[in-house]
Amino acid sequence: MYQNLVRLTIMTIALVFTVAAQSSIDQWEPEIKKFEESDRLNPPPKNAVLFIGSSSIRLWSTLAGDFPTAKVINRGFGGSQITDSTHYVDRIVVPYQPRMIVFYAGDNDLAAGKTPQQVYEDYKAFVSDVKQKLPKTNIAFISIKPSPSRAALLPKAREANGLIKSFTAKDKRLIYIDVFTPMLDKDGNPRPELFGPDKLHMNPEGYKLWTAVVGPYLK
């Protein structure tokens, strides 16, 4: 009886975690449906550069103008983590058949308590899923940025970035884009002039820097 009780307890705990994770992912369903409705009304171009990830992508309102020679699609949804993008790959990645994916996520993950190793494993899972369905698509990871409001997470961001950089070096279709380093001042602190009042999201100067760093990889 004791063993049955232990098994029941373990199953209950597992179910609670599963439901909680699913509930977290489901919060993005309205945004994903908006993307799908937009795609039905205005089908995006194939063979474009797909920008996907969290709020740093969603808030990149000048994306098309910043890269006028590239066909770009913005499918960022703010507050999301890497696993959220993986969950919706079949709906907001695969249908576009992009020649390249530019991915930004990870700092929300660290802020939520995930370890650098977990962030790394989650990104590997995203890449694996995409490569199975889009084997000819290049995938670029924009490094986790150093935000003033999350300065305490800088060591973890460095570690996660380092793991992902090493991972991308082993595959010619994977790219690592370092925005972390140029967003630091000479003392190694986040540059406040690149961020808005919340010290988390970037202002136009921040996106100007990103444009300069990301641009060469889109060619």
pLDDT mean by block of 10 residues, the chain; 219 residues: 47 37 72 96 96 98 97 96 97 97 98 98 98 98 98 98 98 98 97 98 98 96
Match domain 46-218 to its CATH number in 3.30.300.30, 3.40.190.10, 3.40.50.1110, 2.60.40.1730.
3.40.50.1110
Would you kindly state where each structural domain of the chain is located, as residue ranges? 46-218
pLDDT of residue 25: 67
pTM of the full structure: 0.88
Per-residue pLDDT at 82 = 98
**CA-to-CA distance for 35 and 100, rounded, in angstroms?**
19
How far is Cα 18 from Cα 22, in angstroms, rounded to an integer?
6
Can you give the pLDDT at residue 26? 84
Task: Considering only CA atoms, give the Rg of the chain.
Answer: 18
SS3 103: strand
- Residues contacting 11, CB < 8 A, separation 6+: none
Q: How far apart are CA 175 and CA 168, in angstroms?
A: 6
Q: Are 155 and 191 in contact (CB under 8 A)?
A: no
C-alpha dihedral (58, 62, 63, 65), degrees to nearest 10: 160
- The confidence score (pLDDT) of residue 24 equals 64
Q: Measured between alpha carbons, how far is 89 from 179 in angstroms, rounded to an integer?
A: 25
